[in-house]
Amino acid sequence: MSVFLLAALALATVNENVPFRTALPKVYLIDYAATHVGNPEYLETIAAAPPDILHVGHDLAFKSHLGPCRGFGSFPASYDLMSPDECEAEITRLREYVDSLHRAGARTVIPYICDVFLFGDHEKRTGFWTFYDHWEEYERFGFGERPKTDPIEWMQSDERRPFERNDMFVYEPCINHPDWQRYLRAIVRLVAQCGYDGVFVDVNSFRCPHACCRSLFWTYLRERYSVREIAKSFGFDSPGSVRLNEKGGDLTAVETCRFRAWSFARLFTMLKNEGEAIRPGFMLLPNLSPMAHIAGVRQRIGNGQDVGRWATACDWLMFEEMQQPGLFGASTISDCTLQYKLAFANRVRGGMLLYHARDPGGVSLAMAEAGAGGGGALIQGGYESPEVRNRYHAFWRENRDFFEGYEPWSQVGVCYFRDELYWGNLEHLRAIYRLRAHLSEHHVLFDFIVDGGLNREQLCGYKAVILPFVRHLSDKEIETLREYVAHGGVLVVAGDCGAFDKLGRRRVRRPFLRWMNFPDTAGLPPIRHTGKGVCISLGGLDEYVPSPAFNLYDLNEEEANDIGVVMRRAQEYPDVPKNPSPLLGLIMPLAKTDLSVAGPDTPRTVQVSAFVKRDAAGGVLVLHLLNYNLPIHGLAKSGPPVPVHDIVIDVPLPQGWRAVSAETIAPDAPPENIAFAKSGLRTRASVPQLDLYKVLRIRCKNTLEH
């Protein structure tokens, strides 16, 4: 079976009917130093605090961006092409190196490759072209015959960027060019043959308009539309007439964005299959870039980066961020809650590369976030704070039954649809960031509902669903939301939701006004009861979701990455009092339940997530409590945390459940039994003190008759 067919099958076989559950978090280290191979001191460093995942750099005989050059640095001082015999010896040496890392305790070891960069000079035939001109000598390593096209023909554009070395430039090949794909597949096979357990794929950004993409775009469209529909909706009558739209604003532009994300998922599946054939369980982890700020997401719209589509091909994704979690100034919280929730909603584990999380406090809180996020990892650069990593590693493994096999337990669903960004709907993106922060700081248990997730099974678990500026909805999705309301749900519609269908065609009248009989000029907030539920139509969020004067997510990427700028801006604003939420004040009387699971005196620096595990006798509810009042003093400098005392947790239980015990555990404190009491359909417990992180477990009995 061809690798292309295997890729197509893999993309089509994700079973979304099987619940995605929590997993044990991982200890993950990253270091691109060129001095690891054959270094006994490095092995001692690894053995002192062994990681679950060790991510090294260019410790390969064949580098993806350069070919078989000597040395293990990203960019060797001089390009020295190794002979085939030297490559054989280097691969043998690397096998022993990877084996030694495994013996030192590293469970999974992965190196670096890049799927969109080549280095060299196609005119002077330096760098990668030195290898290409000697290709036949290396055929035995699985490269096959030399491609008939010169690598300069593999590129996304004619541009090349100067590199710091005078004899090299940076080129960007297209991931859909078959010769570049064939080369990358051979590179991954060689990675696996060295004994590596997986591979990290970097950059992952492309906007190629050339024939290699135009022909594949036709294939992609044919999987989604008939020939007649393609002609009607796009104006293409044959593969030769296909064009990709870079300007945005129509269905062709949206499908261009989707196609690029699909192309990456297809490539990742191919590469993973190559590694899997040699090393069963082979891991492929791509870099998704940052999501801590809106600007970083906005500037990458359309370059192929898409959590949901990539998740069909990968088990893990990297979010490359800068700042550590904690508190800047008096009130500016830095966290990775959005990233973890988005990853989990898309059925993939998130790894957070936080360059500044290196001190004990920063590492502790970042590792706690991985637990609260349902699994994943802090990706720590370097080896500082080994005692913290060892403590969390032991904590997770000794309390495995607190962390594995749980499903989210949330009362609110927030619709976050990546495709809205492809339509140019940035109002939706900003609303997501505002809502995420607001709900977290008011201790609301919530999930993201992502593209394709509007189904009865998922919606029925929520007391309320928030639909913020989701302008493109299918008739089926609108009907599903109508049924959700009719059966007792509370639907909050913000903005002109459903004004367009999935093809971008404007509806005559906004559907939520139509089926709820709202007049188009209704006052705010129009509320209509339908069946057993309620629909609330808001013109916007400003009145109901107050936005602080300063938010980290409003910074541009350069500002967000500069801790001096962040600290200076955060110090300009005083502490923001935790006022009652106008949004919750509107929803909760209609939902007939309290959506906040922590008492009103709980500071907004405390965030809560919850997961549930069911069995025949009842089950277990776990709540993760994080304290973000960890003052950040500078780069990799934070703490000590400011403890929070007497936190009252008041949480709803699944129908028929009755609490029988409650206890807390923490990495730095002994287990503690907690007093609890029944309060209607909820259970109330008081946590005496929260330093940085605690897990509250409530064991329950099912009182319903079987």
Task: Decide: residue 24, CB within 10 A, 0-12 exposed, 13-18 middle, 19+ buried.
Answer: middle
Cis peptide bond N-terminal to 151, omega within 30: no
Q: What is residue 521's predicted lDDT score, i.e. its pLDDT?
A: 47
Decide which of 545, 566, 581 is a domain's last residue: 545
The gap from C-alpha 665 to its chain's centroid, in whole angstroms, comes to 27
Distances (CA, A) of 50 to 54, 109, 292, 347, 359: 9, 11, 29, 27, 18
Regarding whether 602 and 510 lie in a shared domain, the answer is: no
Closest CA to 23 of 371, 399, 310: 371
| Residue in this structure with the two tokens 């044990």, named with its chain if needed | 24
Closest CA to 435 of 532, 349, 544: 544
Q: Is residue 213 part of a domain?
A: no
Q: What is residue 1's predicted lDDT score, i.e. its pLDDT?
A: 37
For the chain, the first-to-last Cα distance in angstroms comes to: 49
Number of H helices, E strands in the chain: 22, 32
Regarding whether 518 and 456 lie in a shared domain, the answer is: yes
Q: Is residue 189 part of a domain?
A: no
H helices of 227-285, in order, are 227-234, 251-278
Token pair belonging to 500: 């367009």
User: Are 293 and 552 in contact, with CB atoms under 8 Å apart?
Assistant: yes
Q: What is residue 518's predicted lDDT score, i.e. its pLDDT?
A: 58
Regarding whether 679 and 613 lie in a shared domain, the answer is: yes
Q: How confident is the model at residue 523 (pLDDT cuts 50, 70, 90)?
A: low
Q: What is residue 526's predicted lDDT score, i.e. its pLDDT?
A: 85
Average pLDDT over residues 2-20: 53
Please report the beta strands in 163-231, taking only residues with DSSP state E, as ranges in sequence order: 169-171, 198-202
Closest CA to 110 of 336, 262, 316: 316
Distances (CA, A) of 114 to 129, 187, 203, 259, 648: 17, 10, 6, 20, 49
Cβ neighbours, 10 Å, residue 251? 17
User: Are 499 and 510 in contact, with CB atoms under 8 Å apart?
Assistant: yes
Closest CA to 463 of 522, 391, 532: 532
The gap from C-alpha 554 to its chain's centroid, in whole angstroms, comes to 19
Closest CA to 648 of 619, 675, 680: 675
Q: What is residue 2's predicted lDDT score, i.e. its pLDDT?
A: 41
Residues with Cβ within 8 Å of 197's Cβ and at least 6 positions away in sequence, in order, are: 107, 108, 109, 110, 279, 281, 282, 283
Q: How confident is the model at residue 316 (pLDDT cuts 50, 70, 90)?
A: very high
Q: Is residue 382 part of a domain?
A: no
Regarding whether 484 and 602 lie in a shared domain, the answer is: no
Regarding whether 521 and 435 lie in a shared domain, the answer is: yes
Closest CA to 302 of 370, 184, 363, 213: 213
Torsion angle in degrees (nearest 10) through CA of 517, 520, 524, 525: 30
Q: Is residue 277 part of a domain?
A: no
User: Are 88 and 142 in contact, with CB atoms under 8 Å apart?
Assistant: no
Please tell me the pTM assigned to this model.
0.96
For the segment 134-151, what is each residue's pLDDT rounded down to a tens digit? Answer: 999 999 999 999 999 999
Closest CA to 288 of 354, 201, 213: 201
Q: What is residue 400's predicted lDDT score, i.e. its pLDDT?
A: 98
Token pair belonging to 458: 């998922």
* Euclidean distance between CA atoms 296 and 282, whole angstroms: 30
Q: What is the 3-state secondary structure (H, E, C) of 452-482?
A: CCCCHHHHCCCCEEEEECCCECCHHHHHHHH
Q: What is residue 281's predicted lDDT score, i.e. its pLDDT?
A: 98
| Residue in this structure with the two tokens 């000590």, named with its chain if needed | 640
Regarding whether 539 and 435 lie in a shared domain, the answer is: yes
Q: How confident is the model at residue 572 (pLDDT cuts 50, 70, 90)?
A: very high
Q: How confident is the model at residue 510 (pLDDT cuts 50, 70, 90)?
A: confident
Q: What is residue 5's predicted lDDT score, i.e. its pLDDT?
A: 39
Task: Decide: residue 457, CB within 10 A, 0-12 exposed, 13-18 middle, 19+ buried.
Answer: exposed
User: Are 465 and 449 in contact, with CB atoms under 8 Å apart?
Assistant: yes
Three-class SS of residue 471? Answer: coil
Distances (CA, A) of 557 to 196, 562, 563: 33, 9, 12
Average pLDDT over residues 412-420: 99
Containing H/E element for 88? helix 84-103
List beta partners, residue 161: 170
Q: How confident is the model at residue 513 (pLDDT cuts 50, 70, 90)?
A: confident
Containing H/E element for 95? helix 84-103
Give the domain extent around 531: 412-545
For the segment 34-90, what is each residue's pLDDT rounded down to a tens digit? Answer: 999 999 999 999 999 999 999 999 999 999 999 999 999 887 777 899 999 999 999
Average pLDDT over residues 552-577: 94
Report the CATH number at residue 490: 3.40.50.880
* Euclidean distance between CA atoms 448 and 412, whole angstroms: 9
User: Are 555 and 616 in contact, with CB atoms under 8 Å apart?
Assistant: no
Average pLDDT over residues 153-162: 95
* Euclidean distance between CA atoms 112 and 692, whole angstroms: 34
Regarding whether 517 and 445 lie in a shared domain, the answer is: yes
Report the CATH number at residue 648: 2.60.40.1180
* Euclidean distance between CA atoms 44 and 49, whole angstroms: 9
Is the pLDDT score of 6 beyond 50?
A: no
Regarding whether 525 and 613 lie in a shared domain, the answer is: no
Q: Is residue 37 part of a domain?
A: no
Regarding whether 469 and 540 lie in a shared domain, the answer is: yes
Regarding whether 535 and 611 lie in a shared domain, the answer is: no
Regarding whether 531 and 612 lie in a shared domain, the answer is: no
Is the pLDDT score of 289 beyond 50?
A: yes
For the segment 531-540, what is each residue's pLDDT rounded down to a tens digit? Answer: 999 999 999 9
Min mean pLDDT across 333-342, 510-519, 607-616, 625-634 is at: 510-519
Token pair belonging to 355: 């360059």
Domain tally, the chain: 2
Q: What is residue 637's predicted lDDT score, i.e. its pLDDT?
A: 98
* Euclidean distance between CA atoms 273 and 4, whole angstroms: 10
Decide which of 479, 513, 545 is a domain's last residue: 545
CA 578-664-633 angle, 5° bins: 50
For the segment 663-688, what is each residue's pLDDT rounded down to a tens digit? Answer: 999 999 999 999 999 988 899 999 99
Average pLDDT over residues 308-312: 98
* Euclidean distance between CA atoms 405 and 20, whole angstroms: 9
Average pLDDT over all residues of the chain:
95
Q: Which amino acid belongs to residue 32? A: Y
For the segment 165-204, what is each residue's pLDDT rounded down to a tens digit? Answer: 767 999 999 999 999 999 999 999 999 999 999 999 999 9
Q: Is residue 310 part of a domain?
A: no
Q: What is residue 399's predicted lDDT score, i.e. its pLDDT?
A: 98
Q: Is residue 650 part of a domain?
A: yes
Distances (CA, A) of 277 to 198, 221, 282, 578, 667: 12, 30, 8, 54, 39
For the segment 580-631, what is each residue's pLDDT rounded down to a tens digit? Answer: 999 999 999 999 999 999 999 999 999 999 999 999 889 999 999 999 999 9
Q: Is residue 659 part of a domain?
A: yes
Q: What is residue 163's predicted lDDT score, i.e. its pLDDT?
A: 86
| Residue in this structure with the two tokens 């609490």, named with its chain if needed | 659
Q: What is residue 524's predicted lDDT score, i.e. its pLDDT?
A: 58
* Euclidean distance between CA atoms 440 and 470, whole angstroms: 21
**Radius of gyration for the alpha carbons in the chain, expressed in angstroms and rounded:** 26
* Euclidean distance between CA atoms 352 and 180, whole angstroms: 29
* Euclidean distance between CA atoms 26 and 352, whole angstroms: 11
Is the pLDDT score of 705 beyond 60?
A: no
Token pair belonging to 620: 């277990």
Cβ neighbours, 10 Å, residue 268? 25
Regarding whether 521 and 441 lie in a shared domain, the answer is: yes
Q: How confident is the model at residue 11 (pLDDT cuts 50, 70, 90)?
A: very low
